[in-house]
Structure 1
Amino acid sequence: MADGTARVFVYGTLMRGARNAALLDGAVLVAADATTAEARFVMRQFASSSSPGKQTPGVLAGGGGFVRGEIYAVDEAGLAALDRLEQNGARYRREWAAMSDGGHAWIYLLIAPDPPSERQDRIGHDPATGTFWWERAEPATD
């Protein structure tokens, strides 16, 4: 963005009220209800690598669905912190993706070969629209 920030699309533990949301404390919420513009993803539930015993969503390329989440404007230091959390290049890959608001944002796609959890109880999916979302255990906070 012209102000030196980057748009980042988050869909899981970085969303408002979720366990890693504090990493976005210095970021600006751009869109509280955003969706990817292209139906080319699938969301699955995995064991968390950063929070043992917890579950986390992972979005993979190659599916036929949209993903719902939030968009933030983050500065360079914030983007570096997110890259560390997501293990960019090793566990996740940050990719530029079209969003439903007509803009683009970075999205973290799972590239680690981890098998999905047997439990998929926190993945929401609307077959009519092809949209996936993460069912948070705790409500969002403003």
Structure 2
Amino acid sequence: MQGARNAALLSNAVFCGPAATRDAQYDMAQFNSSSSPGKQTPAVRAHGTARIVGEVYEVDGAGLAALDRLEQNGTRYQREEIQLLDGSRAWIYLLLVAEAPSADQGRILVAPDGSQSWQRREP
């Protein structure tokens, strides 16, 4: 995500624009980061009731492999293909592990329509 802690991983990616999930079947929560101790990180979980708003990037194979390593694909998160509100398709990482969210949920932004997004800048 532009301006986020791991944005450098997207330095060779093409920014396609903002996007939202088609289905309101997700939930975003804030957790203590496993890769950056002392920091907070967002996670999207399945079986919720909200659309998730974020950004879409086009990445090459090496970029996707780097993101999979960061997200611990298959262990901590599972990369799944979803449909976006505009009808296109994209990958999303869904949290696999049962983990208690952080007590601080202040960086989860909820829009009037109930959609959820993540405040990029570290506090």
Q: TM-score of the superposition, structure 1-length normalised?
A: 0.83
Are residues 1:23 and 2:9 paired?
yes
Whether the 8 Å contact between 2:46 and 2:94 is mirrored in structure 1 is yes
Of all paired residues, the percent bearing the same amino acid is 57
Structure 2 residue matching 1:66: 3-state secondary structure = coil
Whether the 8 Å contact between 2:3 and 2:121 is mirrored in structure 1 is no
Q: Deviations over 1:72-91 (max 9, x none)?
A: 00111110000000000100
**Structure-to-structure mapping, 1:1-142, within 5 angstroms:** 15-31=1-17, 33-126=18-111, 128-137=112-121
Q: In 2, distance between residues paired with 1:22 and 1:71?
A: 15
| TM-superposed deviation, 1:114 | 1.4
**Ranges in structure 2 where 5+ consecutive residues have no aligned partner:** none
| TM-superposed deviation, 1:112 | 1.4
Whether the 8 Å contact between 2:2 and 2:120 is mirrored in structure 1 is no
Q: TM-score of the superposition, structure 2-length normalised?
A: 0.95
Q: In 2, distance between residues paired with 1:120 and 1:17?
A: 19
Count the aligned residue pairs: 122
**Ranges in structure 1 where 5+ consecutive residues have no aligned partner:** 1-14
Aligned residue identity for 2:59 = V
